Amino acid sequence: MRLADKRILLGVSGGIAAYKSAELVRRLKDQGADVRVVMTHSAKEFITPLTLQAVSANPVADSLLDPAAEAGMGHIELAKWADLILIAPASANLMARMAAGMADELLTTLCLATPAPIALAPAMNQQMYLNAATQANLNTLASRGILLWGPAAGSQACGDVGPGRMLEPLELVERCCQQLAAEPLLAGVRLLLTAGPTREALDPVRYISNHSSGKMGYAIARAAREAGAEVTLVSGPVALTTPADVTRVDVESAEQMHQVVMSRVGECDLFIGCAAVADYRPEQVASQKIKKIGDNDQMVVKLVKNPDIIAAVGALSAKPFTVGFAAETVDVEQYALDKLQRKRLDMIAANDVSREGQGFNTDDNALTVFWQGGQAPLPLADKLTLARQLIALIARHYRR
């Protein structure tokens, strides 16, 4: 009964996945939750309010302007009642209206009026999910702290195959259990995290860098904050929004990142080195823009090694619990295990960035996490989902 005494408001929007909502209600109640259901008008085309009333043992709300409801559990009272609002399925239309801040029916109004966390389980055709407008709406909602649970990928009712399937009821129940756990997984833990690329200047105009977008590191920062950690994010140059309640320190070069990390690492309990730090930098940085000289088709740049940040943290006599990353293109496991041993890491997350659709500059990733005497694969998923899985795994080993 992991959800005993927890109050979950389940929002159901219009989509074929609404048929799973009845099963979801039953599974939530199996864990002890008190469940109330709010339906959009289009949701009633797929499943009846009577069905959800029967399985939840509570009246189903579907009207913003219901005088009887206003006398009891009106939209403000219902918004205050919930410990968590879960919308499953969350259609593209509903998410667009939420992103616009609309309060045009009961469910969208509740989302504006509630102090409770809101989780969305997207469900739609794969092309609708991948559409730029839908992705922009998802990014907007995520930047406001709304939890995005899924979607999964696979066969769809329309016959397409791809991302857009609603997560299965049991997985959503597990997410609810984690979200409403009595004590967050990393409550009180001070996390220092690096993310993004570094830029190594050649002159005032040009630099050497890599393809890292910072998305994985920023997802980890958000997941760790959700898990209760006090997060300081040391970020290379990226075009990302800082996750809510995360302290961000911006740097450009590997040397700057090294200085910031070493000045703060003594104050942290957990260190995660997710940044794609340049291994080398130019020995000399020109004070003016380098010009092409005559017919010379070559330019020689001498590089020197940058400080190894993760190794420097691992070498500390009183080091924090230290997690590294290994982005490789071949022999991923071999290189990751070597790095784990050589740099005195507690864990390392390895990924094959040569695979299409994962790694640098993508929204999805897959990891294999190694530690002394064990490993765990984290299959391909969106980076926030993957980050939450990684944080849960780190928390289990950190607490030992």
Residue 250 assigned to a binding site:
no
Catalytic residue among 111, 158, 177, 268: 158
Confidence (pLDDT) at 360: 75
76: annotated binding-site residue? no
Read out DSSP for 141-201? HHHTT-EE---EEEE-TTS-EEEEEPPPHHHHHHHHHHHT-SS-TTTT-EEEEEESB--EE
What distance lies between CA 372 and its chain's CA centroid? 26
Q: Is 377 annotated as a binding residue?
A: no
CA distance 232 to 347: 19
318: Cα separation from own chain's centroid: 30
List the beta strands (DSSP E) in the chain: 7-12, 34-39, 84-90, 118-122, 147-148, 152-155, 161-165, 190-195, 200-201, 207-208, 230-235, 247-250, 270-273, 280-282, 303-305, 321-328, 347-352, 364-371, 374-382
How much is the pLDDT for 28? 95
How confident is the model at residue 68, as a pLDDT?
59
**Predicted local confidence at residue 218, as pLDDT:** 95
325 is in an annotated binding site: yes
Catalytic residue list contains 158? yes
Phi, psi values for residue 60, rounded to 5°: -95, 130
| Domain architecture of the chain: domains with CATH | 7-179 (3.40.50.1950), 190-398 (3.40.50.10300)
For residue 310, say whether it is annotated as part of any ligand binding site.
yes
275 is in an annotated binding site: yes
Helices 49-56, 21-30: axis angle to 10 degrees equals: 10
Q: What is the pTM of this model?
A: 0.61
Q: pLDDT at position 71, please?
A: 47
**What whole-number distance in Å separates Cα of residue 346 and Cα of residue 320?**
9
What does each of the 400 residues of the chain score in pLDDT, given as a tens digit?
Answer: 788 889 999 999 998 999 999 999 999 999 999 999 999 999 999 999 999 999 999 999 888 766 655 544 456 778 888 999 999 999 999 999 999 999 888 999 999 988 889 999 999 988 899 999 999 999 888 888 888 898 887 777 777 778 888 999 998 998 898 888 756 789 889 999 999 999 999 999 999 999 899 999 999 999 999 888 999 999 999 999 998 889 999 999 999 999 999 999 999 999 999 999 999 999 999 999 988 877 777 888 999 999 999 999 999 999 999 999 988 778 888 889 999 999 999 999 998 877 776 667 788 888 999 999 888 888 888 888 889 889 989 998 887 6
Q: What is the pLDDT of residue 337?
A: 93
pLDDT of 251: 97
CA pair distance 213, 196, nearest whole angstrom? 6
Give the per-residue pLDDT at 260.
Answer: 98
| 46 annotated to bind ligand | no
DSSP state of 242: P
343 is in an annotated binding site: yes
Q: Is 289 annotated as a binding residue?
A: yes
Q: How far apart are the first and last CA of the chain?
A: 24
Q: What is the pLDDT of residue 72?
A: 46
DSSP type of residue 202 = S
